[in-house]
A and B are shown apart, each in its own frame.
Chain A
Amino acid sequence: MKPFTYERAQSPAEAAAAAARIAGAKFIAGGTNLLDLMKLEIETPAHLIDVNGLKLDTIEATAEGGLRIGALARNTDLAADPRVRRNYGLLSRALLAGASGQLRNKATTAGNLLQRTRCPYFYDTNQPCNKRQPGSGCAAIGGFSRQHAVLGVSENCIATQPSDMAVAMMALDATVETVRADGATRKIPIADFYRAPADTPETETVLAPGELILAVTLPKPVGGKHIYHKVRDRASYAFALVSVGAIVQRDGSGRAALGGVAHKPWRIAAAEAEMPRGAKAVAERLLAGATPTHENAFKLPLVERTLAAVLSDARA
């Protein structure tokens, strides 16, 4: 690990200001992803701003009938919150499908959204990777690409966003609330939060340098059956090959977002309109324009079959 200096921030504004003032500074909360990457020297911050003391861990009802989830709410606490279990079961299910008990106790809501890809070439510092070292090339394209993206890829990067929680947040129309160094706050719809890899796969979100996430807000519950179906190589503690997060209403209408297939949770309005017609119709719209590699082409039929399983569960 590279040496770094360390401070404990006392307020969100102070944390954002410190991040803007100190070159190479990064926020640390749960640290479960950042420290892993720092040990491998994939992340090399010169300064860490510990935000754990900012008291951003509450989960509160909003005036609009939704929930405002503090950036520091731990994955375990969010998954176990009675209001989340009752009204946003998809979010509980997605959280519980991810990581291990130890990691969920530490990992935060904001950190989960910002976790980096598990592309093995991103992790291997002996390999070229445009995300880790811009301009060095992409070893995944033409390499072992079984886990990689089939949608929204570029000639520079085919990495996936690995978060299960983000898939639920996408289907639930969450909003990300942030503060910048100048004290300005803004609300970013989750659909606009992740950037396509394009020519700059190293920039994964629309957050400005030093911009700090304060909370993630959910609109009022929409009812329906909440299902998160994750297909993976092990029954537990593994990243998704494909996942489907869905909310299905009694009349067959609903919402569906995919995990494990792109740089962001993949959700298409035109596909959701097809939900009453069944999995094949939804999959066709969701997967329009897919560009799989020879190693991950299996994800396309797997998406359709997982959707079929989800719609069948919803009817049961």
Chain B
Amino acid sequence: MAKVSFNVNGESRALDLDTRTTLLDALREHLLLTGSKKGCDHGQCGACTVMVNGRRINSCLTLAVMHEGDAITTIEGLGMPGHLHPLQQAFIKHDGYQCGYCTPGQIVSAVAVLDEIKAGIPSHVSADLNAIPQVAEAELRERMSGNICRCGAYSNIVDAITEVAGSKG
């Protein structure tokens, strides 16, 4: 067992955990934040995506004890019924899901993707490494490739992200 304290969605949380507990299991099983989903549990599907200190990661591939003092944002921290995040609203409007299991990971990832583009981080499909990356369909598809949707809602997901990116100007 090991102690760890971190901030989740603005609240300080202290836990005493088996060292083997992943951040995902700490969030879901210990803090009952079940929005983040366990899909593959091997970093391949992206359903577990959360932000740690503002950066998206696979919460299934990191140990909770490795996050002492970190600030974690889950889908619950982005928005809840009644006060949805613009991307949550856009996923509903554009029908960016069918079964919905991958959706929390898709939305957290999408929020981070727009931040990464704004920060000027290039991608595999950026034609010029030294130019400012643009919000374009090819960029969004490449940057979202770590989030799998087996229902195949990808085109609607791209539409939802594009709308929010555009409205941010």
List chain A positions with a Cβ less than 8 A from chain B. Answer: 1, 3-6, 8, 28, 31-32, 35-36, 39, 48, 50, 52, 76, 79-80, 82, 85-86, 89, 92-93, 96-97, 99-103, 105-106, 235-237
Contact = CB atoms under 8 A, between A and B. Distances in A.
Majority secondary structure, B binding face: loop
A313 to B, nearest CB: 12
A36 B61 contact: yes
B141 interface: yes
B65 A6 contact: yes
Nearest to A29: B66
Given A92-B129, A102-B146, A103-B43, A6 B2 contact: yes
A102 B46 contact: yes
B146 A3 contact: no
Given A80-B121, A85-B122, A236-B124, A5 B19 contact: yes
A32 B42 CA distance: 9
B36 interface: no
Given A35-B61, A96-B122, A101 B19 contact: no
A102 B109 contact: yes
Given A28-B66, A36-B42, A39-B41, 8 more contacts: A6-B65, A32-B62, A35-B61, A50-B65, A100-B43, A100-B145, A235-B145, A236-B124
Size category of the binding interface on chain B: 35 or more
Given A32-B43, A85-B122, A101-B56, A236 B62 contact: no
Nearest to B40: A36
A247 to B, nearest CB: 14
B118 interface: no
B122 A1 contact: no
A85 B46 contact: no
A89 B58 contact: no
B22 interface: yes
A4 B19 contact: yes
B152 interface: no
A1 B109 CA distance: 27
Nearest to A3: B20
A270 B146 CA distance: 39
Contacts of A86: 129-130
Given A101-B109, A102-B58, A48 B120 contact: no
Nearest to B21: A1
Given A6-B2, A93-B129, A50 B66 contact: yes
B68 interface: yes
Interface in B4-41: 18-20, 22, 41
A105 B42 contact: no
